[in-house]
A and B are shown apart, each in its own frame.
Chain A
Amino acid sequence: MFQFVLKRLLLAIPTLLGVTVLTFILLHLAPGNLAQTLAGENATPAQVSRITHELGLDRPVYEQYAIWLGKLTRGDLGFSYRRQASVLSLIGERIGRTLLLMGSALALSIVIAVPLGVYQAFRRNTIFDRAASAVVFVAWSMPTFWFGTILIALFAVQLRWSPVGGLQTIDTASFDWPSRLAHLILPAATLALVSLAGWSRYIRGSMVEQLQEDYARTARAKGLPAGAVLFKHTLRNALIPFITLLGGTIPALFGGAVITEQIFAYPGMGQLFWQSATDRDYFTLLGMTVITALLVILGNLLADVLYGVVDPRVRYD
């Protein structure tokens, strides 16, 4: 087990290096003078030449990469001249909020998708199953931002049950949990849409397969109630591969967070990413891409480890 985790961590290093190369290539695809773009439109020539010198932009590309990578390994993600702050502090300020949003969406999605999928499989090919499948297909085919706007129009504007957006009510000066949670509900519901459809379809398919297995029929024949068979026997087996699916959904959740945070003016990483993309704050984009990739890789590793924990048949070699 320990060896497996260690091996996977070591294997993650080339992938992460690959991500840095990829993002660095993307950076150099940028048209125009990079130092000028980084400094902003109103920068003086002296500032531009200072940035050029600091980043080694007057040197060959591989040296620039080495300089950047060297800083990266020391935890220095660069400096955002646009925002006059280090990229690390910009991310640090927002990453918790985005992870909280993603976590809530993940939880919400599981709480809806798993029971729905289980019940659909149990009542397979009935009217309920067909209707639920139709709803899931619609959810799957809906633009995220449209769904978010409908939620705002309905629950925030018409019914006034929820705030329209933001992180917390402005006049509260300090950290305010109830207000933060109230501001989290609609964004989490919107982001949950990203994964909901795929997961409930997956659970349904997986449960249908498990219910046809001999062990499920045996349990039923012994006289166990249907609920016990569903939740104690088949669901456990159906959930095992689902863990891998959870790990694989993390990138999509980060992507969905960009749109969700934009709809709800939620100041998280997604919003920062969008802002940096529009004003070409490349170092912030690079830093966020690297940090996100690190989280994605760790998430997948965690999923693989958990997979082995819940399924003793899996062996780590």
Chain B
Amino acid sequence: MIDATLTLPVDEGFPRRRRMRVDPIAAAGMFWIVLALLACWLAPYLLHIDAYATDVAHAYAQPGGAHWLGTDGLGRDELARLLIGGRITLSVGIVAALVAMLIGTLYGALSGFYGGWFDSILMRVVDVFLAVPTLFLLLFLAALFNGSVLTLMLVIGFTAWLGPSRLVRGEVLTLKERLYVEAARSSGAGDWRIIFRHVVPNAMGTIITTTTFMVASAMLAETALSYLGIGIRLPIPSWGNLLTSAQSDLFARAYWLILPPGLAILITVCAFNFVGDWLREKQT
């Protein structure tokens, strides 16, 4: 649709000292991601806290004492909800990104490899999807299939594959002209073997970089949908719905509930973007 892509300059990314191998910002991002994964999956066991146990007598307890981050309107431990919510939001982000990349890679690779009218038709289909705002599609699908965490992952993944498919197609268009493809073909390799053993592995850099950014945007999609009331449904916690309900808890002057989920989303999404940015710069 847009023919000007060739003249786009390379995104410079975050300014940084070039000599370092892993730059400190990306390292901090990776450190945070590992820390968040470990904390969300291990800490609830170690601290013996329950995200679902209500205790109305201690509703809206201030941080400190038995509840490090205080409690919510039903007396549930906020730290436990934050950690379990992190499991949900992180797994939605990661699984949705993987779904999107799987569809996008397959679609883009086939389109770019076979070219011709097949490619034109497939790319017209992408144009059709791109003409509809992603959030519209998300709302539409989420309204149709309301419910589980798994469907939300699939719905977000299904609306996010368009960008990746174009990127992979672009890579494949140049990769398929390489000599090693010709070599593989002359030694009798079939199309599928060439695509998945020779072409796609060489596009892996682009694919991994895009996946990292996709995790960040899928996490933001989860929070947006939760805000609109069609994301993760209570009582299951997620960073998106914790932040949403914290906004109404402000009326009860429970100001301590708003920062933890908000910062968790902000820092984690930033961390994935930092790592993605560093990966992209390393490629060029």
Contact A273 B136 (CB under 8 A): yes
Which residue of B is nearest A208, CB measured?
A: B12
Which residue of B is nearest A144, CB measured?
A: B224
A216 CA to B14 CA, complexed, in Å: 23
**B134 touches A (CB below 8 Å):** yes
Which residue of A is nearest B10, CB measured?
A: A205
A149 CA to B132 CA, complexed, in Å: 27
**B237 touches A (CB below 8 Å):** no
A146 CA to B263 CA, complexed, in Å: 10
- Please name all residues of chain B whose beta carbon is closer than 8 Å to the beta carbon of A149 when the two chains form the complex: 247
**B150 touches A (CB below 8 Å):** no
- A-side binding surface: helix, strand, loop or mixed? helix
- Please name all residues of chain A whose beta carbon is closer than 8 Å to the beta carbon of B14 when the two chains form the complex: 133, 137
- Please name all residues of chain B whose beta carbon is closer than 8 Å to the beta carbon of A296 when the two chains form the complex: 130-133
Contact of A289 among B5, B136, B240 (CB under 8 A): B136
**B52 touches A (CB below 8 Å):** no
Contact A143 B243 (CB under 8 A): yes
Contact A293 B132 (CB under 8 A): yes
A149 CA to B255 CA, complexed, in Å: 13
- Please name all residues of chain B whose beta carbon is closer than 8 Å to the beta carbon of A202 when the two chains form the complex: 11
**A84 touches B (CB below 8 Å):** no
Contact A244 B143 (CB under 8 A): no
Contact of B8 among A19, A29, A241, A273 (CB under 8 A): A241
A142: min CB distance to chain B, Å: 6
Which residue of A is nearest B6, CB measured?
A: A241
Query: How does the 8 Å CB contact mask read for A63-85 relative to B, with 1 for contact and 0 for none?
Result: 00000000000000000000000
**B140 touches A (CB below 8 Å):** yes
**A277 touches B (CB below 8 Å):** yes
Which residue of A is nearest B8, CB measured?
A: A241
Which residue of B is nearest A307, CB measured?
A: B4
The interface size of chain B toward A, counting residues with CB under 8 Å, comes to: 52
A3: min CB distance to chain B, Å: 16
- Please name all residues of chain B whose beta carbon is closer than 8 Å to the beta carbon of A172 when the two chains form the complex: none
Query: How does the 8 Å CB contact mask read for B202-234 relative to A, with 1 for contact and 0 for none?
Result: 000000000000001000100110011110000
Contact of A274 among B13, B125, B228 (CB under 8 A): B228
Query: How does the 8 Å CB contact mask read for A8-33 relative to B, with 1 for contact and 0 for none?
Result: 00000011101101110010011100
The interface size of chain A toward B, counting residues with CB under 8 Å, comes to: 65
- Please name all residues of chain A whose beta carbon is closer than 8 Å to the beta carbon of B136 when the two chains form the complex: 254-255, 258, 273, 288-289, 292
- Please name all residues of chain A whose beta carbon is closer than 8 Å to the beta carbon of B188 when the two chains form the complex: none
B106: min CB distance to chain A, Å: 20
B255: min CB distance to chain A, Å: 10
**A183 touches B (CB below 8 Å):** no
**A158 touches B (CB below 8 Å):** no
**B124 touches A (CB below 8 Å):** yes
- Near A by CB (< 8 A), chain B positions 262-282 give 262, 265-266, 269-270, 273-274
Task: Tell me which of A50-58, A86-94, A122-130 binds B.
Answer: A122-130
Contact B129 A22 (CB under 8 A): yes
- Please name all residues of chain A whose beta carbon is closer than 8 Å to the beta carbon of B223 when the two chains form the complex: 143, 145-146
Contact B274 A15 (CB under 8 A): no
A144 CA to B223 CA, complexed, in Å: 9
- Please name all residues of chain B whose beta carbon is closer than 8 Å to the beta carbon of A262 when the two chains form the complex: 227-228
A-B contact pairs, 13 of them (CB 8 A): A19-B131, A140-B273, A141-B216, A141-B265, A142-B266, A143-B227, A241-B4, A251-B131, A255-B136, A259-B227, A262-B227, A277-B140, A304-B3
A residues contacting B by CB (< 8 A) are 14-16, 18-19, 21-23, 26, 29-31, 124-125, 129-130, 133, 137-138, 140-146, 149, 153, 201-202, 204-206, 208-209, 240-241, 244, 247-248, 251-252, 254-256, 258-259, 262, 273-274, 277-278, 280, 285, 288-289, 292-293, 296-297, 300, 303-304, 307, 314
**Besides the known contacts A201-B13, A297-B131, 9 further A-B residue pairs in the complex with CB atoms under 8 A apart:** A22-B128, A141-B265, A142-B265, A149-B247, A205-B9, A251-B131, A258-B135, A258-B139, A280-B143
